[in-house]
Structure 1
Amino acid sequence: MTTESVPPPQVWPTLRATDARALIRFLVDAFGFEVTVVYGSDDRVDHAELAWPPGGGIMLGSVRPGDGDAWPLAPGTFGAYVVTDRPDELCARAAAAGAEVLREPYDTGHGSREFAVRDPEGNLWSFGTYRGEARVSGGAAG
């Protein structure tokens, strides 16, 4: 029996949180992210990786004011679009977990079904069925 492994993402959106451990629990419960790894002790999270089951992931950690933070992102300033095949179900799940629903599921003019929420740290999340346009092989890099 063989086990296929999914390669890790090559682009990692990142964010900081006032209470990173609580945000990790929220992202797992509300959206269905899966914890890959969490490093840190007590309330502090030095580094965490959360996988999005269909592919991709995010990194996050505790905000570190006055700590010489080399990545000084302010909590609540993150925004992301995440692909899902079940936006209506996911919106209901997110709302039940305490997400602030900013926009109920709706159909866009480009054929996607989407919704938008805010997490407890203030970050904005948009979920929808739009997967982006196909890339042309051999295209020039910008």
Structure 2
Amino acid sequence: MPRNKTPSISTFLFSDDPEASQKFLVEAFGLAEGELSRDDKGKALVGRAYLGDYAVSVARPHPGRMEAASHANVLHSLVMVYLDDVDSVYEKAKAADAKIEYEPTDMPYGQREFGARDADGNLWCFAKELTA
């Protein structure tokens, strides 16, 4: 189901298996399943998952130019998601066997957050700003 709204910045990640990565984002992090495009042989090329109107795309890499995070030796980026209920997403991610990097914690810089890796090794941080 295509969305009409295109944000100014959109997350685009690389995956050796976009279909499995899309499924993981839905099951572990609670995103809504979006469209999945395939080549003429039926191989998944790009999968999308949505948080509200905002898309996260996962696409096949281009070896030597664009690689999945699992092929990198260092963390090169992270996806920060702000939402209302950090703890329920944490429980969902944990139940789906996501690799939890750190549990929900009230941070000294004013937000509650946790970190988890997706199926491709990308770091996702889910946070809610704390109010006094």
Q: Secondary structure at the match of 2:93?
A: helix
Distance 2:57 2:20 in 1: 14
Q: Does 1:17 align with 2:7?
A: no
Q: Does 1:47 align with 2:46?
A: yes
Superposition deviation, residue 78 in structure 1: 4.9
Give the corresponding residue for 1:139: none
Q: Aligned residues: percent identity?
A: 27
> Taking structure 1 as reference, are residues 33 and 75 closer, same or farther at Cα in structure 2, changes over 3 Å only?
same
Superposition deviation, residue 12 in structure 1: 1.0
The answer as to whether partners of 2:101 and 2:115 remain within 8 angstroms in 1 is yes
Superposition deviation, residue 73 in structure 1: 2.3
Letter in 2 for 1:112: Q
Alignment of 1:25-36 (within 5 A): 25-36=23-34
> Taking structure 1 as reference, are residues 87 and 23 closer, same or farther at Cα in structure 2, changes over 3 Å only?
same
Distance 2:4 2:30 in 1: 17
> Taking structure 1 as reference, are residues 73 and 64 closer, same or farther at Cα in structure 2, changes over 3 Å only?
closer
Distance 1:35 1:99 in 2: 18
Range moving further from structure 2, 76-85 or 92-101? 76-85
Q: Secondary structure at the match of 2:100?
A: strand
Bigger strand share = 2
Gaps of 5+ in 1: 67-71, 132-142
Q: Does 1:119 align with 2:95?
A: no
Distance 1:7 1:19 in 2: 26
The answer as to whether partners of 1:75 and 1:121 remain within 8 angstroms in 2 is yes
Aligned pair partner of 1:65 in 63, 66, 88: 63
- More contact order relative to length (CA 8 Å, sep ≥ 6): 2
Q: How many residues align?
A: 121
Alignment of 1:124-139 (within 5 A): 124-130=123-129
Distance 1:130 1:45 in 2: 36
Larger Rg: 1
Normalising by structure 1, we get a TM-score of: 0.74
Give the corresponding residue for 1:137: none
CA deviation vs aligned residue, 1:35-78 (integer Å, no higher than 9, x gap): 2221114663322332112x422112122438xxxxx3211255
Normalising by structure 2, we get a TM-score of: 0.79
Runs ≥4 residues deviating over 4 A: none
Q: Secondary structure at the match of 1:126?
A: strand
